[in-house]
Amino acid sequence: MDRRRDVAFAVSRAFGPGLDRMSKRPGTPLLDRVTDPAELRKLDERELKQLAEEVRAETIDAVSRTGGHLGAGLGVVELTVALHYVFETPRDRLIWDVGHQAYPHKILTGRRDRIRTLRQEGGLSGFTRRAESEYDPFGTAHSSTSISAGLGMAVARDLDGRRNRVVAVIGDGAMSAGMAYEAMNNAGHLRSNLIVILNDNDMSIAPPVGAMSAYLARLVSGRTYRKMRSVAKRLLKWLPDWFTDKVALTEEFTRSFWAGGGTLFEELGFYYVGPIDGHNLDHLLPVLRNVANAKNGPFLVHVVTQKGKGYAPAEKAPDKFHGVGKFDIVTGAQAPNQSNLPTYTRIFGEALSAEAERDDRIVAITAAMPAGTGLDLFGQRFPHRLFDVGIAEQHAVTFAAGLAAEGFKPFCALYSTFLQRGYDQVVHDVALQSLPVRFAIDRAGFVGADGPTHAGAFDTAFLAPLPGMVLMAAADEAELMHMVATAVALDDRPSAFRYPRGEGVGVDLPAQGVPLALGKGRILREGTKVALFSYGARLHECLTAADELAGYGLPTTVADARFAKPLDVDLLHRLAREHEVLITIEEGSSGGFGALCLEALARSGSLDAGVKIRTLTLPDRNLEQASPASLYAAAGLNSAGIIAAVFAAIGRAEPARAAGRA
């Protein structure tokens, strides 16, 4: 049995009789004809169910080879087919919130031939990207941006006098972010013709729905009902207020009773339709046609879907199949991790849990990422001290500030790239009041397959200007344990410590973390010619570079800054004074650790002495997805790049055996 038949067989077992014909007939005959949505719209409506089955099989096969986000994409297969069938994409704008559910969309929009390059170096992005396709009108990899972007596009259309439709697809999880409601409030006020598809895949808003609900959704989204409703509203203006209020309440109750809700969205100015079964094309198509043909707006169409739909392992464990590595299609077994080293994320979760055993004032906050930040480990031991606030980083930061104001010790664990979303709150609600909120910043530096949208580049640069803020970066997993302990002990000011994604370097771990001396670095190796001053997990590349530089007659000192703020200025001045070359190395953007070092040296006059100083940072451009090793090599932040920077600083040609090294 070839691989495509394996996929069909595995999917048919999970999905039921609806895919029996696929298991008997290998290949994807309908999908082979659909090179773009224009070809899709030539199909007979009765063929769409089979097409959806083939898209589902293709998605499973592709992700089994590359890894990536699986469950969310499988949940929107029928919805994706229906949207491209009803709407005239790319003329009609289709925006996928977050974009991790857009793999079926990519298959149907001319990218099927590259779908097995997902998240690979030189391949397709794991999210939507404007530069990748005209069918991706807006790049999305952070949550809850789609309605705002869609409203901007709808208003631009209206200003230009165009008549295309704008559709934003947003999940119920993304609706936990305040930005979505800000956008809806504005959209309701502007009355622009915008269509929002609420993909409710956790059934957190409404229960499963059936034929009656689908019929009513089709009815209330239809032109006749909406016209009658509009006429009735105009007539009611001439009647007494008490009568108008009674009629409005009656309609609201009736629609809510039969359709399952929507009052909130109606109050925000949207015309609510649903909920409807997002896997039933017979229900989806007429409703989408109705809203597509409507001249007024905005609309919110509420569809209920299932994560992992059509693939049994993903249906049974949607959390494990949200993001996956390569896996076996028939069994669902994911490829084992080849390394036995613990990840930094796990080390953080275990270290914080150990500290919480000794201090019952420690609490933890996450923004819908308990497993991604390691706080699931904390939550297993202290379920009442872990707070998952949803996709709401702004709230997470100020919530933590409130806890700190009352004497608790909050650890707010966020990815670096998501902390950006709560920056105003860090400035105004935390730093301005010197509240001891501890920020655990995961995903420092390059993250590999998730690409530039998730790379942790800017946190040092945007946190350093804040008065009183303590900034640390872990060089290895033992240092991370010590920094957790340091943050616990810092109870009079805010602090942050950053660490990368992936496994540690394999150092021996202490029995427990010990608070570090504030603002003091350490020297790991002494030399006389070159000084490498590292901030973060590039330290071991510095040690490797120092070994080779010594062989070239360049004895090298390697120092670990530990702190960017307060900076160890005594150590910095010593390195500048006693060496011919000083190189700072960090996994962050310009304006961060290296800039702090240059400012300190300039302030003291140390730059006047003639020491050659270079700052190595992430480049001033976005690097697309690739392995972290490849990305750090491209950025010049591996041992070879460090050696090249040293030889460039001293004006000597780099020896050939070093220049050829990756």
Task: Name the band, by pLDDT with cuts 50, 70 and 90, for residue 428.
Answer: very high
Residue closest to 486 by CA, chosen among 507, 512, 513: 513
Task: Name the band, by pLDDT with cuts 50, 70 and 90, for residue 23.
Answer: very low
- pLDDT tens readout for residues 546-586: 999 999 999 999 999 999 999 999 999 999 999 999 999 99
Residue closest to 570 by CA, chosen among 543, 524, 606: 606
Task: Name the band, by pLDDT with cuts 50, 70 and 90, for residue 107.
Answer: very high
Which pLDDT score is estimated for 339? 76
- pLDDT tens readout for residues 599-627: 999 999 988 878 899 999 999 999 999 99
Q: Is 252 helix (H, G, I), strand (E, B) or coil?
A: helix
Residues in a beta bridge with 612: 581
Residue closest to 217 by CA, chosen among 179, 156, 259, 173: 259
Which pLDDT score is estimated for 224? 55
Q: What is the mean pLDDT of the chain?
A: 88
Which pLDDT score is estimated for 323? 84
Q: What are 158's two structure tokens? A: 């209206």
Neighbours of 44 (CB within 10 A): 6
What is the distance between the terminal CA atoms of the chain, rounded to a whole angstrom?
A: 41
Which pLDDT score is estimated for 10? 53
Residue with the bigger pLDDT between 162 and 2: it is 162
- pLDDT tens readout for residues 632-644: 999 999 999 999 9
Instruction: Assess whether pLDDT exceeds 90 at residue 238.
Output: no
Which pLDDT score is estimated for 157? 97
Per DSSP, 326 falls in state S
Instruction: Assess whether pLDDT exceeds 80 at residue 265.
Output: yes
Instruction: Assess whether pLDDT exceeds 60 at residue 248.
Output: no
Which pLDDT score is estimated for 653? 86
Residue with the bigger pLDDT between 6 and 602: it is 602
Neighbours of 514 (CB within 10 A): 11
- pLDDT tens readout for residues 293-336: 998 889 999 999 999 999 999 998 887 888 888 999 988 888 88
Instruction: Assess whether pLDDT exceeds 70 at residue 19.
Output: no
The active-site residue, picked from 106, 111, 309, 421, is: 421
Instruction: Assess whether pLDDT exceeds 70 at residue 232.
Output: no
Rounded distance, CA 5 to CA 22, Å? 8
Q: Is 538 part of the annotated catalytic residue set?
A: no
Instruction: Assess whether pLDDT exceeds 90 at residue 535.
Output: yes
User: Can you tell me the mean pLDDT for 518-544?
Assistant: 98
Rounded distance, CA 368 to CA 395, Å? 12
- Cα 118 to Cα 155, 321, 448: the distances in Å are 33, 16, 12
The sign of the dihedral angle between the CA atoms of 153, 155, 157, 162 is positive
Q: How many helices and strands, by DSSP H and E, does the chain display?
A: 29, 19
Phi, psi angle pair for 498, to nearest 5°:
-115, 150
The active-site residue, picked from 112, 129, 307, 562, is: 307
User: Can you tell me the mean pLDDT for 285-295?
Assistant: 94
Task: Name the band, by pLDDT with cuts 50, 70 and 90, for residue 119.
Answer: very high
User: Can you tell me the mean pLDDT for 330-343?
Assistant: 84
Which pLDDT score is estimated for 8? 53
Residue closest to 500 by CA, chosen among 618, 661, 381, 636: 618
Which pLDDT score is estimated for 237? 56
How many residues are listed for the chain in this entry? 662
Rounded distance, CA 630 to CA 632, Å? 6
Residue with the bigger pLDDT between 55 and 11: it is 55
Q: What are 60's two structure tokens? A: 């499973």
Instruction: Assess whether pLDDT exceeds 80 at residue 256.
Output: no
Per DSSP, 437 falls in state -
How many percent of the chain have pLDDT more than 90? 75
Instruction: Assess whether pLDDT exceeds 90 at residue 492.
Output: yes
Task: Name the band, by pLDDT with cuts 50, 70 and 90, for residue 398.
Answer: very high
Task: Name the band, by pLDDT with cuts 50, 70 and 90, for residue 4.
Answer: low
User: Can you tell me the mean pLDDT for 149-171?
Assistant: 96
Which pLDDT score is estimated for 15? 44
Q: Is 498 part of the annotated catalytic residue set?
A: no
| One-letter amino acid of 492 | D
Q: Is 227 part of the annotated catalytic residue set?
A: no
Instruction: Assess whether pLDDT exceeds 80 at residue 217.
Output: no
User: Can you tell me the mean pLDDT for 419-428?
Assistant: 97
Task: Name the band, by pLDDT with cuts 50, 70 and 90, for residue 258.
Answer: very low
Rounded distance, CA 178 to CA 394, Å? 9
Long-range contacts of 239-242 (CB under 8 A, 24+ apart): none
The active-site residue, picked from 54, 355, 393, 503, is: 393
- Cα 153 to Cα 164, 512, 532, 568: the distances in Å are 10, 53, 49, 49
Instruction: Assess whether pLDDT exceeds 60 at residue 228.
Output: no
Which pLDDT score is estimated for 1? 42
User: Three-state secondary structure along 452-514?
Assistant: CCCCECCHHHHHCCCCCCEEEECCCHHHHHHHHHHHHHCCCCCEEEECCCCECCCCCCCCCCC
Which pLDDT score is estimated for 117? 95
